[in-house]
Amino acid sequence: MGLPSIENRTVGDCIKHIVMWSVAGANETEKDQAAAAIKLRFEGLRGLIPGLLHLEIGVDFSRVSYACDVVLYSEFSSKEALAAYATHPAHLKVRDELEGMRIARHQVDYVQDGEAVASSSGRALSSAV
Q: How many domains is the chain built from?
A: 1
* 6 assigned to some structural domain: no
* 43 assigned to some structural domain: yes
Tens-digit pLDDT profile for residues 91-121: 999 999 999 999 999 999 999 875 544 444 4
**Cα 10 → chain centroid:** 22
Helix (H, G, I), strand (E, B) or coil at 14: coil
pLDDT of the residue at 98: 94
* 116 assigned to some structural domain: yes
Q: What is the pTM of this model?
A: 0.77
* 4 assigned to some structural domain: no
* 69 assigned to some structural domain: yes
Helix (H, G, I), strand (E, B) or coil at 123: coil
Query: Closest Cα partner for 42 from 61, 20, 25?
Result: 20
Decide if 18 contacts 72 (C-beta within 8 A): yes
pLDDT at 19 over 70: yes
* 5 assigned to some structural domain: no
* 1 assigned to some structural domain: no
* 3 assigned to some structural domain: no
Question: Which CATH number does the domain housing residue 50 bear?
Answer: 3.30.70.100
Tell me the residue range of the domain where 72 lies: 11-125
